[in-house]
Amino acid sequence: MAINMRITSELLKLKAIEFEKKLNGFCRYERSRILLLINKDLSDEEFVLYCIFDDVISDWDNGHDKFGSFEVIPDLFAEFIGWTPSKIRRILKSLITKGFIAFLGMNMYVMVGVELKKHKRVRDVPFDYYAELKKLVETHLIKSSTNHNDDAKSNPLN
């Protein structure tokens, strides 16, 4: 148990140093991102994590295979920013459900819409993209709930 705590402590220190290195510099927000808050597409907490993922820890180097991806170990990340691991997991799940990030596996995630950035067509993903994404997600949720209700009606076991 002590070895695991020591490893976790050492890993946390290394991750904290890695995050702190990425926090240097200037970050400008495009208007479309602020509209995510104004239009209530993202809660305050979701917005904060989304911005951290997009601006601080995502790999935006065109030469890398993992372009637009980032690693989040909820326990370590939560301790670094002062939130609980369950809060990080809940917000990650919400961002995935809303279609802003996608889970790749093994604590790896990717920002949705990265193909636009990789080919330098746009650096700031336009608001229209978010609006279109929101419509697609809402349509999918409506269809899946309708299909679920139809299945429930036709199922004799219900």
pLDDT tops 70 at residue 54 = yes
Query: What letters, b where the CB count within 10 A reaches 16 and e where it falls short, cover 46-79?
Result: bbebbebbbbebbbbeeeeeebbbbbbbbebbbb
Question: What are the structure tokens assigned to 50, written together?
Answer: 């989304």
Could you tell me if residue 90 is inside a domain?
A: yes
Beta bridge partners of 109: 70, 103
113 contact partners, CB below 8 Å, separation of at least 6: 125, 129, 133
Q: Hey, is 70 helix, strand or coil?
A: strand
Report how far residue 34's alpha carbon sits from residue 38's, in angstroms, rounded to the nearest whole number. 6
Q: Which residues contact 76 (CB under 8 A, 6 or more apart)?
A: 8, 11, 12, 15
At residue 7 the predicted structure's pLDDT band, cuts being 50, 70 and 90, is: low
Whether 94 is covered by a domain: the verdict is yes
Cβ–Cβ under 8 Å, residues 101 and 111: yes
The per-residue pLDDT for 156 is 42
**Does any domain span residue 134?**
no
The two tokens of residue 106 are 């093994």
With a threshold of 0.95, does the pTM exceed it? Answer: no
- Kindly report the CATH number assigned to the domain that includes residue 45: 1.10.10.10
Output 74 or 118, whichever has higher pLDDT. 74
Answer whether residue 59 is part of any domain: yes
pLDDT in tens, 99-130: 899 999 898 898 887 555 555 544 445 455 55
For position 67, what pLDDT does the model report? Answer: 78
Is residue 12 domain-resident? Answer: yes
In a domain, 49, yes or no: yes
What does the block give as tokens for 152? 């429930």
If one counts the domains in the chain, the total is 1
pLDDT value at position 23?
A: 62
According to the model, what pLDDT value does residue 60 have?
A: 73
The verdict on residue 10 lying in a domain is yes
Ranking 33-37, 39-43, 44-48, 89-93 by mean pLDDT, the lowest is 33-37
| Domain, as residue range, for 20 | 2-125
Helices (H) and strands (E) in the chain, counts: 7, 3
**Are 60 and 117 spatial neighbours (Cβ–Cβ below 8 Å)?**
yes
* Cβ atoms of 73 and 15 closer than 8 Å: yes
Does 56 fall in a domain?
yes
